[in-house]
Amino acid sequence: MTEAFVQDFEARAGTATAEGPEWLEPIRRSAMERFARTGFPAARDEEWRFTPIGPIAQGTWRPALGGAGEVTREQLAPFVFGHADWTTLVFVNGIYHEALSTIGTLPPGARVASLAEALRSDGALLHGHLARHAPVEGSPFTALNTAFLSEGGVVHVGTNVDLASPVHLLYVTTAEAGGTVAHPRNLIVVERGARASVIESYVTLAPGQAYWTNPITEVAVAAGAWLEHTRIQRESETAQHVGLTHVDQQRDSRYRSFSLAMGAALGRHNLHVRLHDENIETLLYGLYVTRGDQTADNHTAIYHDQPNCRSWEVYKGILDGRSRAVFNGKVFVKPEAQKTDAKQTNRNLLLSDGARVDTKPQLEIFADDVKCTHGATVGRLDEMARFYARSRGIPAAAADLLLTYAFAAEVVEEVTLAPVREELDRLVRSRLGGL
């Protein structure tokens, strides 16, 4: 199957999707060579042991080619948080769609553009960041994304600039996405002392389609900067989604992430955060809600390289049907990273007998003066709480719904932006079956 990608790669030479500054082509090419050498992860690969990538590895995937003709703004309305005025880059079947996008008023020093546009006009910025945060050696999926890198969103927030309203990168698929693969590549750079909120959504207008999204987002949070990053994965439940977010944080910076995964047959997200300096705060919240035969797979890795940093991670899952969740939470604390304060929690709620969770904390701590804890639970609805609610007149089914929602609400509450939080809340409620 690897060969097909090499052929696609060679076929695109000379087309618009292979354009870009001179320095980029060698990066793409060596990424392609790397993937051609490694192929997809083998079954014995520890990082992918619980991840059913068979349908991806054995599938035949055509490059996503847009096909935006019939998509309207009305169709996108459910995905924009009631804020059509927010700067929103819309990608239809992997390709940037200018007419559906909105570039709202941005403060001076802030810039939001499609990757293609940024490659033309912001070469220096991209040269400094693109493919520098997410190494191609990281995984074959990263290599493949890098080889085909051409579409995506770029958010650049200059020194001390406060991006007043959020920027939304909205990836939407239509019926034409069937059988295709897209490799979105996003770059978020928040310079010294700047503040920003970025939302990344992967949604569909064609719930029955089988396609594959292979996105990467590289994030640089400079000294003293603040970034809230919300990631929403609501792909078609027959689609494949394997994504990576790599974050590099500098001194005194704060990064706050919320990741919601409800879609895809396989929805895998790797979130890697490296804390390069002192006094950094990293908050990672996650929620996955699965049913049927879905798999939600979250791999997070937090690298405490320097002293006096704090990371706090809470991932929760609600599983129904015969669905499956994988959680792997790595925390690496280097010998010099004294006074590290790291806490990791993964809690899972099983709504059915057929659902399954593989949860694995992986703490590797080489400093001695640290506070690092982790906890993982897999359980069912609390019978006591259920009876308590029923004893107050709330019928059993409504009580179950209430308690399930409450389980999710505890983490949704952590989203600081009210319109985003309210929309996520609504999404979760409707997914759980009303309320």
Partner 1 sequence: MLEIRDLRASAGDKEILRGIDLTVNAGEVHAVMGPNGSGKSTLAQVLAGHPAYVVTGGSVRYRGQDLLDLEPEERAQAGVFLAFQYPVEIPGVTNAYFLRAAYNEIRKARGQDEVDSMDFLDLLEEKLKLVDWEPAIMSRAVNAGFSGGEKKRNEILQMAVLEPRLAILDETDSGLDIDALRIVAAGVNKLRRPDNATIVVTHYQRLLNYIVPDYVHVLSNGRIVKSGGKELALELEARGYEWLEDTVGAAS
Looking at the Cβ atoms of 8 and 382, the one nearer to partner 1 is 382
Smallest separation, CB 392 to partner 1 (Å): 4
Supply 358's token pair. Answer: 């593989």
Asked whether the beta carbons of 192 and 223 are under 8 A apart, the reply is yes
Whole-angstrom distance, CA of residue 338 vs CA of residue 367: 6
Looking at the Cβ atoms of 282 and 346, the one nearer to partner 1 is 346
Looking at the Cβ atoms of 163 and 389, the one nearer to partner 1 is 389
- Point out which residues bind partner 1 (CB under 8 A): 382-385, 387-396, 398-399, 402-403, 405-410, 413
Nearest to 276 by CA among 229, 346, 225, 344: 225
Whole-angstrom distance, CA of residue 78 vs CA of residue 93: 17
Smallest separation, CB 413 to partner 1 (Å): 8
Supply 113's token pair. Answer: 């553009």
Looking at the Cβ atoms of 203 and 401, the one nearer to partner 1 is 401
Looking at the Cβ atoms of 264 and 428, the one nearer to partner 1 is 428
Smallest separation, CB 412 to partner 1 (Å): 9
Written as one string, the DSSP assignment of 259-310 is: EEE---SEEEEEEEEEE-SSS-EEEEEEEEEE-TT-EEEEEEEEEE-SSS-E
Looking at the Cβ atoms of 80 and 399, the one nearer to partner 1 is 399
Smallest separation, CB 425 to partner 1 (Å): 11
Smallest separation, CB 105 to partner 1 (Å): 35
Smallest separation, CB 233 to partner 1 (Å): 22
Residue entry with tokens 């390289």: 305
Asked whether the beta carbons of 187 and 134 are under 8 A apart, the reply is no
The half-sphere exposure of 73 on its side-chain side, counting CA atoms within 13 A, is: 11
Supply 284's token pair. Answer: 């990672």
